[in-house]
């Protein structure tokens, strides 16, 4: 499979818990992006990596959010002390010129 994969596909958690999502990009892609999508809206940019370096972070990425891409391969997005407003679809994409998206992780915070 040469597409972008994300795990888990669905996550239900209680308010205040920490959650971590994983993204595996297309293997030859150096750039990896995270977006967040709420119901009825288009995705919004969160952050991106060039290899292992995190080069840009949106103001949407509060200090409760952290993203890493060790060794420039897979990436993780962690949300600490989740809030109900964090409920959304978290999308990962990779690609230099054209962006290819994964299936997303649907987060529900109760």
How far apart CA 36 and CA 71 sit, in angstroms, is: 24
Among 35, 65, 67, 82, binds other proteins (CB under 8 A): 35
> CB-wise, 4 or 19, nearer to other proteins?
4
70 touching other proteins, by CB under 8 A: no
Q: Which of 42, 71, 84, 85 binds other proteins (CB under 8 A)?
A: 42
Q: How many residues bind other proteins (CB under 8 A)?
A: 26
Q: What angle do CA 25, 29, 33 make, to 5 degrees?
A: 60
User: What gap in Å lies between CA 57 and CA 34, rounded to an integer?
Assistant: 10
Q: Does 56 bind other proteins (CB under 8 A)?
A: yes
């Amino acid at each position: 499979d040469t597409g972008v994969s994300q795990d888990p596909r669905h996550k239900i958690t209680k308010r205040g818990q920490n959650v971590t999502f994983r993204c595996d990009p297309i293997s030859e892609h150096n750039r990896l992006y995270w977006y967040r999508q709420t119901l009825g809206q288009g995705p919004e940019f969160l952050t991106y990596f060039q290899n292992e370096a995190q080069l840009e972070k949106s103001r949407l990425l509060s200090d409760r959010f952290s993203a890493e891409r060790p060794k420039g391969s897979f990436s993780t997005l962690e949300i600490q002390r989740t809030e109900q407003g964090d409920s959304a679809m978290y999308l990962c994409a990779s690609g230099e010129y054209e962006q290819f998206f994964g299936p997303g992780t649907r987060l529900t915070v109760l």
